[in-house]
Amino acid sequence: MIIEFGNRSLRVHEPFHRSLAKERCNFGAFGSGKSYTICDEAIAWCLEQPGIRGLITRKTIPELRDTTEPVFAERVPPDLWNAGRLLRTGGHFDRFIFPNGSTVYFRSIDDWRKYKSMNLGFIAWDEWGEFDEETTVAMAGRLRQKDLTAEARELGYTDKIWRRGMWGATNPEGKDWIYDRYHPDSPKRVAGSEAFFSTSLDNPFLPPEYVESLLSMPRPWVQRYVLCQFEDFAGKIYDEWGWDTHTVPHPSWRELGINQPLVWMGMDPGTENPTAGLWVWVDRENRRLVGIDEYEMPGIAVDGHCASWRAIEARQRMQVGWRVSDPNAITQRDRGTMIQLQTQYAKQGFAFNTGASSNAARIPALAHLIHLRRFVVSRQTCSKTFEAIQNYQWKDLTPSQRAAGENPREEPLKKNDHLVNCAQFLAGREAPMQPMHRRNIPQDFNGEIHAAIRKQLRHKGARRYYPRNPIGAV
């Protein structure tokens, strides 16, 4: 029987299929056909070496069932598919046995230790970036097949497996472990490995409206997921924040003629994470908030935090007029006492109001002040706050979101953001940012006061002698 393998790969993927490297990574953008390459290569190896045993894997069974298995079934020629044998388990492919005795297993890998006894000729990784390097290195140790499968021996094949290897496809995820392992520019690249690249524009069969929708996304997203570039996608949120523009020398209260500066305090409670505090001077003259002190401390009780705060406020002779905190964390009850944190702090003399809970409100509030240069910090005492705001980034897409083609709501990366949260809570109060309405005091102030008094006396006298409703009036 002659079977024609007529499914041709895209021209951009031909170098990948011609490669003889033992380890190959196909970095591809959305819609570049990279998932087809790993299935095509698996089919080719099964036909080239009768009796080989291979594994096609994805991180989870639902992803394997919904994305990879349908591609494999589509790429196997109909005659070959009918001549082979498909076994299913749990609603998805378990294995496909080719008519020459070669076998492809379909498995998810949540723990590589479950596959210590596997004896394979190849491994094909779909969405390789979903796995970690430990899993990759450990599974590479399973590439040790020499003898043919029992099905191949029954068919009369007697050769040995002479070629073993693994390959995979992934989106570029910045300079992560898979970049280090396979990218040609990486000094840590595995010797003898090869990498291949494809963009969304390399696939001429994509619908034009789909390509247009990809190109309409934000520029960093397009660079990574359309043009297959490796720039970090998680961009800075406050990109206008800078050392020269948003830091000031620590204010000297004596030079400013201020005895007790009016200060606000923002606080972000933490249990496993640090509890953070930020004090800002309300500089009404310049209509800005000036960070003058900061605090970060994990793993101590409420009274311990309060003792440290009293020392900070006494050192700078602060007059704290307002305190604000995370509305979700401050209202949580302590597991031991079942008393809200807000109540515990109030008993210590620190009464906190609740700030905005939504990122959609908090992030723009601070961005607005940063843009107007009305939120600055002291160079001497708020270096951690400066660095935290500088490094505040958007969260990247998750592998499952990428697989589903989602466009999720932008969320900040929850990493070293405690002092940033304090700044955002403080930025939500607009009072010092409003123009100051000064009283219009006349030059002859005393004369104006006396004139007003005389006017009031005349009015009272008139009412005394000419009552509004005299007796007998109709």
The length of the chain is 474
Average pLDDT, the chain: 84
Architecture in CATH of 243-433: 2-Layer Sandwich (3.30)
| 350, amino acid identity | F
| 182, amino acid identity | Y
Task: Tell me the per-residue pLDDT of 65-88, one tens digit each, with 9 for 90 and over.
Answer: 999 999 999 999 999 999 999 999
Please list the residue range(s) of the chain that carry CATH number 3.40.50.300. Answer: 11-225
Task: Tell me the per-residue pLDDT of 388-410, one tens digit each, with 9 for 90 and over.
Answer: 998 888 776 555 555 555 555 56
Identify the burial level of 236 via C-beta atoms within 10 angstroms of its C-beta, where 0-12 means exposed, 13-18 middle and 19 or more buried.
middle
C-alpha 151/C-alpha 157 separation (Å) is: 9
Bridge partners for 86 per DSSP: 96
Instruction: Give yes or no for a contact between 126 and 57, defined as CB atoms under 8 angstroms apart.
Output: yes
State residue 319 phi and psi, 5-degree precision.
-110, 95
C-alpha 120/C-alpha 95 separation (Å) is: 13
Show the low-confidence residues of the chain (pLDDT under 50).
1-4, 431-443, 445, 464-474
Taking domain 11-225, whether its CATH number is 3.40.50.300 is answered by yes
Task: Tell me the per-residue pLDDT of 265-290, one tens digit each, with 9 for 90 and over.
Answer: 999 998 667 899 999 999 988 889 99
CA nearest 142: which of 162, 161, 115? 115
C-alpha 321/C-alpha 314 separation (Å) is: 14
The pTM assigned to this predicted structure is: 0.53
Please list the residue range(s) of the chain that carry CATH number 3.30.420.280. Answer: 243-433
